[in-house]
Amino acid sequence: MNNISPQLQNQIAQFQQVQQQLQAIGTQKMQMNAQKKEMERTLEELAKAQGDVYKNVGSLLIKVDDKATVRDEIEEAMETVDVRIKSIERQEKSLREKFETLQESINKAMGQQQA
């Protein structure tokens, strides 16, 4: 086992790197999905809101005169988040394929070494 070829060592290093990237991208995806859910809840509450509406600007709450403008801003931000989620999902798919390929290659090489 100690006589692992440099090529196999490189594959193992790549495998670990891809594994870390998959974890990071999974975290990003969860954060983006949480952000999208928050925006959806905000839109629901905005639709129900009676009377004055305020929006958070930095550390201030500013009274909003036009709820439609705020709704449009939130919807636009949701579209941006959707695009980001789709991009993350494409990256995740690509990384998973690379992960599986490396895993198969490493397993095959390890099996040959043991034989």
pLDDT the model gives residue 31: 98
Rounding to the nearest 10 degrees, give the CA dihedral for residues 87, 89, 92, 98.
-90
Report the alpha-carbon distance of residue 5 to residue 39 in Å, rounded. Answer: 51
The answer to whether the beta carbons of residues 11 and 102 sit under 8 Å apart is yes
pLDDT the model gives residue 115: 57
Q: Where are the chain's structural domains?
A: 6-114
pLDDT the model gives residue 68: 92
pLDDT the model gives residue 21: 97
CATH architecture of 6-114: Orthogonal Bundle (1.10)
pLDDT the model gives residue 114: 67
pTM for this model (two decimals): 0.82
pLDDT the model gives residue 112: 78
The CA angle 9-93-27, to the nearest 5 degrees, is: 85
| pLDDT in single tens digits along all 115 residues of the chain | 467 888 899 999 999 999 999 999 999 999 999 999 999 999 999 999 998 999 999 999 999 999 999 999 999 999 999 999 999 999 999 999 999 999 999 999 888 776 5
